[in-house]
Amino acid sequence: MDTKAFKRSLHSSEQYYRKGFGHSEQAIAMLQLEYQSNLIQNIRNNGYTLQQGDVTIHLAQAMGFCWGVERTIALAYETRQQFPFNRIWITNEIIHNPLVNQNMQDMGVKFIPVNWQGKKDFSVVTKEDVVILPAFGASFEEMQLLKEKGCKVMDTTCPWVSKVWNHVEKHKKRNYTSIIHGKYKHEETIATSSFAGKYLVILNLQQAEYVCNYILNGGNCEEFLAKFSHAYSPGFNPDTDLACVGIANQTTMLKGETEQISKLFERTLIRKYGPEQINDHFLSFNTICDATQERQDAMLKLVEQKLDLIVVVGGFNSSNTTQLQTIATSHGIPSYHIDTAERIGPGNRIEHQKLHSSLEVVENWLQPGQIIVGITSGASTPDTVVADVIKKIFEINNTFAKKRG
């Protein structure tokens, strides 16, 4: 079925919702109560800086909840209020933050169970149920299934994600292969690729260079397919399906890298087909999320300051949070990615996720004496969580002061 025709049909259904139910004031009040912090607001009002004892905190000037995340959570809260007695399911984590997801469960919102094969089991959903689609969206196949079941659907998909879907549909209309800069297992990329025709998901510039070399010089098809296993559309053939490509991205990837990848493909196809033919072989649209870009730009300003270390707060499975840590690491600043304040302590220890690696415990991560700490957080991270992290840092510093005294 044509994806555009299906979406028109879905959006016109009385069982499908993309807006609230008139409970926005109550939803916003709940958001403010649960996730806003007076401490963080005071630091912002003080030029994004706070000094206490020997510790100076510098906040990134753009961090934490973005508009899309706030919208998603508010719509989920409104859905619970509108359907107080219905079973409510959600197809994935609503956002990549453990506190917010736990709050959803405390409100009686259940996650679609996953079977032993790692696939979602939608057999639990009945016509009387309500299903929430999270900020990352849901795949075309999942939307079809839910429409067939006749259940109510609240679609909280971030508009920036929907914008990418519209672009890959334009690629499909012209029979172009969508080159998607993203992580092929990420919920957003899974959804985006389901709306594409032919597609290839590439993780980074290094993989892009491999593909572009293949376009110019050819290579071993089997080796290519093995290298990108699970990251391409059924029947994809690199020898024929890379002649015309369009660029798209997972909205939380590094802005600069997406731009580099786009320019690399454009240069490659110009070399292959000539500048006069480029418009017949290459399409590119700006699909970088505004909030992602703002937080990355704020991180680049933060690392320009004199910092001893940076704490990046956000879900371990949050792509946009990982990109912030990547910026810190690329500037040679020690960084610690944690999801909650509970990762700090007992004592002067921290359990953090190393970049592109596993959890690691570091003892004595904060040193006595004057120290300057940069703090940022991903777009799915509540200010209350960041405030708890800062309080833990001050507690350790107070311990140092007591020992000296």
Decide: 126 and 149 in contact? Cβ < 8 Å: yes
Helices (H), 38-117: 38-45, 67-82, 98-106
Which amino acid is located at 34 in the chain? E
Active site residue 148: no
188, 259, 266, 276: which one is catalytic? 188
Q: Name the packing angle between helices 24-35 and 67-82 (round to 10°).
A: 120
Residue 147: its H or E element: helix 140-149
Q: Which residues contact 11 (CB under 8 A, 6 or more apart)?
A: 18
Q: What is the SS3 assignment for 209?
A: helix
Going 81 to 84 to 90 to 95, the CA torsion angle's sign is: positive
Structure tokens at 333: 């600043």
- Select from 178, 193, 188, 182 the least CA-distant residue to 158: 188
Q: Which residues contact 148 (CB under 8 A, 6 or more apart)?
A: none
Which residue bears the tokens 């649960």? Answer: 34
Span between the terminal Cα atoms of the chain, in Å:
73
CA distance 212 to 328: 29
Looking at residue 131, what DSSP letter applies? Answer: E
Which amino acid is located at 355 in the chain? L
CA distance 307 to 315: 23
Q: What is the SS3 assignment for 269?
A: helix
- Select from 264, 213, 273 the least CA-distant residue to 238: 213
Name the pairing type of β-strands 88-90 and 109-111.
parallel
| Positions marked catalytic | 188
